[in-house]
Structure 1
Amino acid sequence: MVPKISDSEATTTTTPKRKISNFVFWNQTRIFILILSLTCLTLTQINSQIFTFTVICMDDLIVENRISNATEPHWIEGTTEKSILFSATAVGALVGLIPSVPLLNRLGVRLTLSICGLCSTLGTFFTPIAVSWSFYLVVLCRVLQGLGISVILTVLGVIPTSWSPKSEYSTYLAILSCAWQVSSRAHMPHQLFQSFQFSNVIFMPISGILCDSSLGWRSIYYAFGVLTGFFYFVFYMFYTDIPGIHKNVSEKELGQISEGKPVHAVREAVPYKKICTDRCVLAAWVSFLGGNLGFITLLLYGPTYLREVLQFDVRSTGYINALPYALCAVYKFSAGKISDRVTFASDKAIYTFWLFSSIIGLGIGYCIMAWTSDRIVAFVAFAFAIVTSGLIIMATVKCLAMRCQQHTHFAVSAISFLSYCVQFISPLGVGILCPDNTPEQWSRLFIIITVIMIVTNVPFPWLTTQHAADYTKRKDSREFSNVEKC
């Protein structure tokens, strides 16, 4: 996404005059921006995932319902109701995603993301209150949490593009993307979506402790609701969409950030039709759809699988579910550093390798989980699948960034749409295929997902390319090229 520039500024590439603070974070303001953004995105992602864990420790609602001599079972006992709540976040994300591209263009990352943070804060803090009132109010809170994550994938690409030096892009993106695999990139290469490791690493152990303590599951929502509100307030006050107007960015650091980057003085209309009919883009979208299905299923139903099928207790579930995401964060960071330094292979060879290493790893993990009856072996396979899945976004988003260039934000927004569709449909599929949470039912689900991942990723190496599309070239450049050919 290109920052909005007025007509008077469109003819020059100089940065507007600004007052520079005496404190410039030792010429490392971009690192503080990275940490602050990572914290906010992680908290937002945590909020959207809280219910997937607390659902296994909300038995007090059932007890209270029976004590009150209610004639109907509590909604927390219903498979359909829980599936609706799992899907409600995806509905909110889809609703928020629809206007996200024009909003980001008009309002910028700072204001758009702050609004999303407010929605996430309200939806999280008021969930325990909503539970006491009505199932439909809980659905509303889940939708608000979905609105909070609606722009995460797109923002994950925009912030590194604006704030990281070109030589640090992949590493910057790898770290920032760890907000979403906790638990999704947008303007250039490398890893986003499976990037939310930190949310699960932080959230799962804390939730396991609180759920098992006298404070109970409600304290999780209050704690993360307050933290989210605080850090988004700091983000709103400190972040700027353009490093060149930030008072804490020194001239030295600004030069590092700007070096080697093209200057887009005039924003261009997005060629929606050409992008949507580009076979390279379509192949990347389809590939991501299959790989994301494998990851989302583990993300949403990891705690349920560990508790109901492998029979781990609540506190153990929190710790052991966090371990694979911590390892995945390390794996992704290492991959980002290597990707920034590899010079002996083409970009296509690199991102194709990342993709197939992830898909093969996921497939192996799913197959072992489907066929083993040993809980330790099943957990190792579960962890292996999550760790290897983190590189899928490196492949698909890098491919899209190289192909779509300045229009990557739209291509990645489409990936967000596909991701939330999967998040919406996945609970329905699990509810149908695994109504009783038996090992046999889960084995059938794992085999089906493995087949889908393989089928959707076969076309990727044959249809993708590392070359920029013609629609990324400015009109005057294309006309000049045509004149040269004549």
Structure 2
Amino acid sequence: MNNFRFFLLFLATISMTFVYSNRVVFGFTIICQQGGNESDDTTSVIVDPDYYLLDTLNIAWMFTATAVGMCLGPAPFYFVGFLSTRVLIFTYGIMSALSSILYPLFDSLGFWPALVCRFFAGFAQASQLHFTNDLVLRWTPESEASFFFSIMLATSQFGPLFTMILGGEMCSSSFFGWEATYYILGVGTFISSTAFAYYYSDNVEKNCNLEESEKKYILAGKHSTKEKEKVPYKALLKDSTIWISLLMFTGYYLAMIVYQQYSPTFIKQVLHFTIRETGYFSAIPQLIAIFIKIGCGRLLDVKFGCGPKLTLVVPLLILESMSAFSLFLTGFLDDRVWSLIFMMIFASLHFFVPVICSRTIQIRAGQHSHFALNLNMVIAGIAQILIPLGVQAAVPENTRSQWSFVFYFLVITVVITSILYTLFSRATPAEWTMKKRASEYTIYRLSDISPPEPITIPMPRECKF
């Protein structure tokens, strides 16, 4: 099959989108679960006054269970090294599918069964950055690495975009209800993850679906090891660029998690829009962010003759400065329409940050980047544990002034992390990634490349940063 790598990219993106959706869906359907199905011309009806989700502390624990799952999700990768990646893809996919399919049943059984479902939704989603890194390192030519990365990282937009619209329609429907959202996501996860696992393989050279020309194009200049190289944990954890990238990831997660988990609540209960409007207004930034993320990701591969550091820093500073200013105006302005508009602008621009951070880690850590990216998922999980508790403490009465304080705090974190990355990060391979082992050998020389339909782009002279 010609251009098989793009077919595999498509399957990976669909699978990861559903897995991501299973983690974030609760943040939207909780509105429906608390008040029953609500259409635009009806009022919400609370069926059971003892329903566990009417307690804000129980809601915080549901988000916390998902976060704990994210912290623990990457751990099995370092104990089941004998399993192939396709087995792990299938296993985590099935786990994610069951966490959604069983959730309506477990919700009816009470708090603890529902909590277990949310734990495994987070546990399964924690694997996706590991699989993304693996696919980019194995299946992507160097000239397309950022493009592939940006598309797969866009699942953090594809998922909420699809889920918000689906959840909004199901919650507003008198026929389906919020339960249908979980059933659709669960079945979709099972089908897409099975297909992804079936076509994926760790060994690109032996994959029977690849034509020889595409195989050479993918493997040009890459190396293969007969044994897995041990991660130099000490050197990696002492690298300042790794920690700066992780710190920037932390700043990103703080703002992103607040937006994805609480924007439906803020738009509906503070800005006073309907459930259906809330679904679409929350989804619009996700749609815009997809085009920004993929477009800028492609430009990172082109480079325009600039060095790798400048290529990464310029789009970061442009997008994050506009993003921070928009978030500040969201909290500063009293008009609900303008607050909504600037909130959507903020989210549209801010979602590009993971492309910069992930690409920096991959350039810096090379073949060991999987460990740093898995460490990033642990940080994301910790952020998810602390954020619900922090939000509950910061906005106990859910007022505009309280939310403004949260937005100002996020603006400060965005500005500080962007400055630290610009001044102190390095976009070059670390010395501890360049140690050659006797078992390492080049699969194809660059002169052996014969890519299908090559494109020649005249490039200006490279500049250094």
Indicate the residue corresponding to 2:14 in structure 1.
39
Q: Distance in 1 between matches of 2:122 and 2:252?
A: 21
Indicate the residue corresponding to 2:57 in structure 1.
80
Indicate the residue corresponding to 1:189 in structure 2.
none
Q: Deviations over 1:32-56 (max 9, x none)?
A: 1111111110000001111100011
Amino acid aligned to 2:162: I
Conserved? CA contact 1:358–1:390, under 8 Å = no
Q: Distance in 1 between matches of 2:60 and 2:382?
A: 14
Residue correspondence of structure 1 range 52-131 to structure 2 within 5 A? 52-58=27-33, 59-60=35-36, 63-66=46-49, 73-103=50-80, 105-131=81-107
Q: Distance in 2 between matches of 1:253 and 1:297?
A: 42
Indicate the residue corresponding to 1:330 in structure 2.
291
Q: Distance in 2 between matches of 1:341 and 1:60?
A: 50
Is 1:308 the counterpart of 2:262? The answer is no
Indicate the residue corresponding to 1:16 in structure 2.
none
Q: Distance in 1 between matches of 2:188 and 2:404?
A: 39
Measured after TM superposition, the shift of residue 344 of structure 1 is 2.3
Indicate the residue corresponding to 1:260 in structure 2.
221
Q: Distance in 2 between matches of 1:237 and 1:409?
A: 22
Q: Distance in 2 between matches of 1:267 and 1:170?
A: 24
Q: Deviations over 1:457-482 (max 9, x none)?
A: 432223211222221121669xxxxx
Secondary structure class of the residue paired with 1:107: coil
Indicate the residue corresponding to 1:207 in structure 2.
167
Measured after TM superposition, the shift of residue 239 of structure 1 is 2.0
Q: Distance in 2 between matches of 1:453 and 1:284?
A: 13
Q: Distance in 2 between matches of 1:32 and 1:231?
A: 13
Q: Distance in 2 between matches of 1:358 and 1:155?
A: 27
Indicate the residue corresponding to 2:448 in structure 1.
none
Is 1:465 the counterpart of 2:440? The answer is no
Q: Distance in 2 between matches of 1:230 and 1:291?
A: 31
Which 10-residue stretch deviates more, 252-261 or 431-440? 252-261
Q: Deviations over 1:64-91 (max 9, x none)?
A: 314xxxxxx3211111111111121111
Q: Distance in 2 between matches of 1:284 and 1:237?
A: 33
Q: Distance in 2 between matches of 1:389 and 1:293?
A: 11
Secondary structure class of the residue paired with 2:305: coil
Measured after TM superposition, the shift of residue 108 of structure 1 is 3.2
Measured after TM superposition, the shift of residue 106 of structure 1 is 3.2
Measured after TM superposition, the shift of residue 102 of structure 1 is 4.6
Q: Distance in 1 between matches of 2:377 and 2:320?
A: 19
Secondary structure class of the residue paired with 1:263: strand
Q: Deviations over 1:307-335 (max 9, x none)?
A: 11111111111111111111100011110
Measured after TM superposition, the shift of residue 453 of structure 1 is 2.7
Conserved? CA contact 1:275–1:281, under 8 Å = yes
Measured after TM superposition, the shift of residue 101 of structure 1 is 4.2
Q: Which runs of 5+ in 2 are unaligned?
A: 38-44, 439-465
Conserved? CA contact 1:153–1:412, under 8 Å = yes
Q: Distance in 2 between matches of 1:101 and 1:358?
A: 36
Aligned length: 429
Q: Distance in 2 between matches of 1:409 and 1:276?
A: 13
Indicate the residue corresponding to 1:14 in structure 2.
none
Q: Deviations over 1:112-147 (max 9, x none)?
A: 121111111111111111111110111000001111
Misfit runs of 4+, over 6 Å: none
Indicate the residue corresponding to 2:129 in structure 1.
153
- Describe the shift of the 1:172–1:455 C-alpha distance in structure 2 as closer, same or farther (beyond 3 A): closer
- Aligned Cα RMSD in Å? 1.8
Q: Distance in 2 between matches of 1:198 and 1:447?
A: 27
Q: Distance in 1 between matches of 2:253 and 2:381?
A: 10
Q: Distance in 2 between matches of 1:136 and 1:438?
A: 30
Measured after TM superposition, the shift of residue 265 of structure 1 is 4.2
Q: Distance in 2 between matches of 1:243 and 1:468?
A: 24
User: TM-score scaled by structure 1?
Assistant: 0.84
Residue correspondence of structure 1 range 264-413 to structure 2 within 5 A? 264-413=225-374
Conserved? CA contact 2:129–2:374, under 8 Å = yes
Q: Distance in 1 between matches of 2:268 and 2:312?
A: 35
Q: Deviations over 1:335-388 (max 9, x none)?
A: 012111123221111212233334323311221111111121111111111111
Amino acid aligned to 2:29: T
Q: Distance in 2 between matches of 1:255 and 1:476?
A: 23
Secondary structure class of the residue paired with 2:306: coil
Indicate the residue corresponding to 2:457 in structure 1.
none
Indicate the residue corresponding to 2:396 in structure 1.
435
Conserved? CA contact 2:19–2:96, under 8 Å = yes
Conserved? CA contact 1:92–1:147, under 8 Å = yes
- Describe the shift of the 1:81–1:257 C-alpha distance in structure 2 as closer, same or farther (beyond 3 A): same
Matching residue within 158, 161, 178 for 2:154: 178
Which 10-residue stretch deviates more, 241-250 or 88-97? 241-250
Q: Deviations over 1:153-173 (max 9, x none)?
A: 121111122122222222122
User: TM-score scaled by structure 2?
Assistant: 0.88
Identity of aligned residues (%): 26
Secondary structure class of the residue paired with 1:243: coil
Q: Distance in 1 between matches of 2:181 and 2:412?
A: 37
Q: Distance in 1 between matches of 2:82 and 2:308?
A: 33
Secondary structure class of the residue paired with 2:46: helix
Indicate the residue corresponding to 1:136 in structure 2.
112
Q: Which runs of 5+ in 1 are unaligned?
A: 1-23, 67-72, 180-195, 478-486
Conserved? CA contact 2:300–2:312, under 8 Å = no
Matching residue within 137, 153, 157 for 1:197: 157
Structure with bigger RCO (C-alpha 8 Å, 6+ apart): 2
Secondary structure class of the residue paired with 2:82: helix
Q: Deviations over 1:177-222 (max 9, x none)?
A: 111xxxxxxxxxxxxxxxx111122221111111100211011111
Conserved? CA contact 2:69–2:381, under 8 Å = no
